[in-house]
């Protein structure tokens, strides 16, 4: 077992001890495979400046469960549960919405 895996196991243990049941972590692209190997579920997070863009953001999604769609602080946001990392969809959002930011966020029920 590597040090990263050992640290993740300790994080889960500490979170359970504090009564937590879910972990949600953001990741840089080079860490995505690690989170998958630890049993985390990928969720594509998309945000674009401006309000009232929720319907436009959802229009690109034809196959994934919407985990959340909201507007806050001048941003329209959408989170999609994807069974795997879908770089094609992520890049399509970045192409269609040049001002948007995308990131995979990983969730695990513990």
Average pLDDT on 86-102 reads 95
Span 17-33, average pLDDT: 93
7 occurs within a structural domain? no
In-domain check, residue 3: no
Tell me the pLDDT tens digit for each residue of 28-82. 889 999 999 999 999 999 999 999 999 999 999 999 999 999 999 999 999 999 9
In a domain, 16, yes or no: no
* Count of structural domains, the chain: 1
Q: Whose CA is closest to 84, among 59, 64, 109, 68? A: 64
Please state the rounded mean pLDDT for residues 6-24: 95
H helix runs in 1-110, sequence order: 3-17, 32-37, 54-59, 87-96
| CA pair distance 20, 15, nearest whole angstrom | 5
Asked if residues 86 and 92 have their Cβ atoms less than 8 Å apart, the reply is no
CATH of residue 93's domain is: 3.30.70
> Tell me, what's the pLDDT at 79?
97
Full domain range(s) for residue 63: 22-109
Q: For the residues 79-94, what does the mean pLDDT come to?
A: 96
Q: Is residue 54 part of a domain?
A: yes
């Amino acid at each position: 077992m590597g040090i990263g895996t050992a640290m993740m196991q300790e994080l889960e243990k500490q979170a359970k001890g504090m009564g937590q049941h879910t972990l949600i972590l953001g990741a840089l692209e080079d860490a995505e495979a690690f989170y998958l190997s630890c049993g985390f579920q990928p969720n594509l997070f998309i945000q674009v400046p401006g309000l009232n863009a929720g319907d436009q953001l959802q229009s690109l999604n034809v196959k994934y469960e919407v985990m959340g769609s909201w507007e806050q602080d001048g941003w329209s946001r959408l989170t999609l549960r994807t069974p795997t990392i879908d770089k094609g969809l992520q890049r399509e959002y970045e192409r269609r919405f040049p001002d948007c930011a995308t990131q995979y966020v990983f969730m695990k029920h513990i």
